Amino acid sequence: MTEPLPATSPHTGAPEGTRHAASAQWTGQDNAWVLGIGGEWRGHRAALPAAPGALVQGEVRFDTTALSSWDVALASSLWQRLNSLARPPVKIDLQGLPEGLREILSMALTETSVVTTPRLEPGRIARVGASTQAWWNEGRRSLTFVGEVLMSVGRLLRGRSGMRWSDLAWQVEQTGPRSLPIVALVSFLVGLIVAYMGAAQLQRFGAQNFIADLVTVGVVREVAALLVGIVLAGRVGAAFAAQIGSMRANEEVDALTTLGVNAVDFLVLPRVVALLIVGPMLTAFAAVVGMGVGWLVAVGLYGVTPLEYVYASAQALTLPHVLIGLLKGTVYSVLVALAGCLQGMSAGRSAQAVGDATTAAVVQAIVWMVVAASVLTVVFQQLGW
């Protein structure tokens, strides 16, 4: 069963016999239709024959063994014929087309019924192996990056770093003072929730006097550091990834390397050191705000006297609690900086890749913080701190 190409003719303007006539025809084979294309199609403007009326299901294949040459006109004509067919139950197999033509059509025909490469369904073991390999590569990349940052810190301590102090001052200003409003707001609201819910439970036992102990220890030791880490992950870590990722997309990082400037010293180190400096400060600020909200709740709603609350807070606020809270805030801040810079330095060279790096930086920072919080809590509890 065939439907030949109408009005096929030699290449326009070519001397007789110097070129093969462009030809195309549909051939039915079992449950498939094969479009055979042959001859010289470069510069040929004749349209391909329309798809057979019986082609409502099955598979479309191609036979281009007799095709001498082609150009974009053939790709356009094929797209016009196939675009209406590229949906189930018709399945289009592009394997028989030349590589370049196949790539063009695979991008133009986006339906799921288009097959460009043979698909082998991986087994469960293969999928597990691929996932394990991806996890291992990601872990190795992260460890390599942390090692490069540590080497950069070593160069800074020896006075051989390429970091500019003006960059450090700029990053401190951007990550510290500009983060105070959002840190204050979040700490106020979360401190209010902790104080109110804790006081509501303590009131059942007539133990309102212990509101100060609950709020002070909880906020200073755990809540303040975690809140600062989450705020910095969303505000600063994402910014780091976007800034460095944009520089990679614009080839600015490559330009620094070409000029002999260490990109880690120039871009990563100021950001990491800046969060190392502002992290404990923001944590202390968040703790003060949280304790202040606890004072408002205890005094305003549950009848605790102001001096009684202050005295109980001073008794509960021991040096280990303060140091542990500041240490956790510092660790979380550094992890945010590392995650943001790592994703930025690993970003691709497109706008979408930069956006993906920004999202990955926030997710990775939060995951690292949760893991670090779990480890530090277990370690301090085992040490009796």
Q: What is the pLDDT of residues 104-133, one digit of tens each?
A: 777 777 554 565 555 444 567 877 877 888
Structure tokens at 302: 């549950």
3-class SS of residue 66: coil
Q: What is the mean pLDDT of the chain?
A: 83
For position 370, what pLDDT does the model report? 93
The type of residue at 193 is I
Model pLDDT, residue 289: 93
Residues 97 and 265: their CA atoms lie apart, in Å, by 50
What are the tens digits of pLDDT across the range 80-91? 877 777 667 778
Show Cβ contacts of residue 34 under 8 Å, excluding neighbours closer than 6 positions: 26, 27, 28, 60, 61, 62, 63, 96
Rounded average pLDDT over 202-212: 76
Q: Would you state the pLDDT for residue 18?
A: 42
Residue 5 reports pLDDT greater than 70: no
For residue 7, what pLDDT is reported?
40
Q: Which two tokens stand for residue 295?
A: 């004072």
Rounded to whole angstroms, how far apart are CA atoms 264 and 253? 10
Of 130 and 8, the one with more pLDDT:
130
For the chain, what percentages of helix, strand and coil (3-state, to nearest 5) are there? 65, 10, 25
CA 202 to chain CA centroid, Å, is 43
- Local structure of residue 157 (DSSP, 8 states): H
* Per-domain residue ranges of the chain: 2-115, 141-383
pLDDT per position as a tens digit, 29-56 = 777 888 888 888 887 766 788 777 777 6
Q: What are the tens digits of pLDDT across the range 136-182?
A: 888 888 899 999 999 999 999 998 888 888 989 999 999 989 999 99
Q: How confident is the model at residue 200 (pLDDT cuts 50, 70, 90)?
A: confident
Strands 58-63 and 114-115: unpaired
For domain 2-115, is the CATH number 3.40.50?
no
pLDDT in tens, 225-235: 999 999 999 99
CB 211 within 8 A of CB 202: yes
